[in-house]
Amino acid sequence: MAPWSSSSRGRRVCCCVLIGLGVLVLGAAVTAGIRRWLQPSGHKQWEGAGTTAHISEIFLGRCFTYTQIIHPELRDKNCQKIWNAFKNSFISKDTCNITEEDYQPLIKLTTQTLPCNQTLFWSKTNVLVHRYTKAQKELFTLEDTLLGYMADDLIWCGSSGNSEMNYQSCPSRMENCSNSPVFVFWKTVSKKFAEAACGVVHVMLNGSISRAFVRNSIFGSIEVMNLHQERVHSLRAWVMHDIGGDFSDSCSGSSINDLRSIMREKNIPFTCQDDYKPVRYIQCVSHPEHSSCP
Ligand code: JS2
């Protein structure tokens, strides 16, 4: 047997060992990578906060509170069915490809007719507008409706092929996951809320920020676009300024002129008031000494 043969077999054996080792190391690296990428629960790791802890109890509790106490005319709503429809809208689905369609069963179960002249939209005035509707029961924001009331300030997401909710992390607004469960939910229900609006409709805007009306906000890009002139007699805007805050924008400002021109195109009469008094009274509750307060 040729002398070089033993050495060549040796070389072949050590090549096989090296290749074997290489494959093992590579395999381990890939597995570790996937493990790092996937959380222990098998969900993808996102940058945003995870599904709100005890979301089912919170959601169900809010449903019963709303339908049995706040609006007993809705007492026949089946809260368990509503929760299941909500959960099935995103569970086991790709959390970046949720559609309006996914939420239709939930919307069907939570239909609520809002009387005309009682719809109140808002943009960048979340706290003030809800302090106002708590005091003034004649007007409804989306969060004063059953669907908005149950989901407000909650976070939820899952993953395709995984029957559990992702409590560790969910897509944040900055991540390229535009069709996330939360974002599609608010787009979908805001569209429905606007389509149902009728008579005199109101919006509360923030005059202490650079542009009170923002086209790519949910109000500007979804709700304004789904107001129908045959149902909506007029849109009344209230531009509120923080007490002691900046007077950055107002009814005579460029952003409101932008909104005015959109409403003109839609043939819906538009009026605007700076610091609508009844809302200012709400603000004055926490600033009784301020010169602009009675
Ligand atoms: C994430 C949430 C939440 O007219 C209002 C309401 O009808 C609302 O649904 O949409 C309008 C306000 O949205 P806009 O104009 O983008 O103003 P914003 O101050 O930037 O409010 C953004 C959030 C609105 C949707 N949304 N999104 N998580 O818990 C949540 N709650 C609401 N209402």
Give the distance (Å) from ligand 1 centre to CA of residue 294.
Answer: 31
Measured distance CA(123)–CA(215) in Å, rounded: 11
pLDDT of 188 above 70: yes
Range with the poorest average pLDDT among 78-87, 174-183, 234-243: 174-183
| Per-residue confidence band for 5, with pLDDT thresholds at 50, 70 and 90 | low
Pocket-forming residues, ligand 1, beta carbon under 6 Å: 121-124, 126, 141-143, 152-153, 182, 186, 190, 193, 217-219, 223
What is the rounded end-to-end Cα distance, in angstroms, of the chain?
111
Please state, rounded to an integer, the average pLDDT across all residues of the chain: 93
Q: Which CATH superfamily is domain 42-284 in?
A: ADP Ribosyl Cyclase; Chain A, domain 1 (1.20.82.10)
pTM: 0.88
| Per-residue confidence band for 38, with pLDDT thresholds at 50, 70 and 90 | low
Inter-residue contact 258 to 252 (CB < 8 Å) = no
- Delimit the domains of the chain by residue range: 42-284
pLDDT of 289 above 70: yes
Measured distance CA(211)–CA(218) in Å, rounded: 14
pLDDT of 116 above 50: yes
The DSSP bridge pattern shows strands 169-170 and 120-123 to be unpaired
Range with the poorest average pLDDT among 26-40, 65-79, 209-223, 232-246: 26-40
Measured distance CA(220)–CA(106) in Å, rounded: 25
| Per-residue confidence band for 1, with pLDDT thresholds at 50, 70 and 90 | very low
In degrees, to the nearest 5, what angle opens at C-alpha 158 toward C-alphas 156 and 162? 150
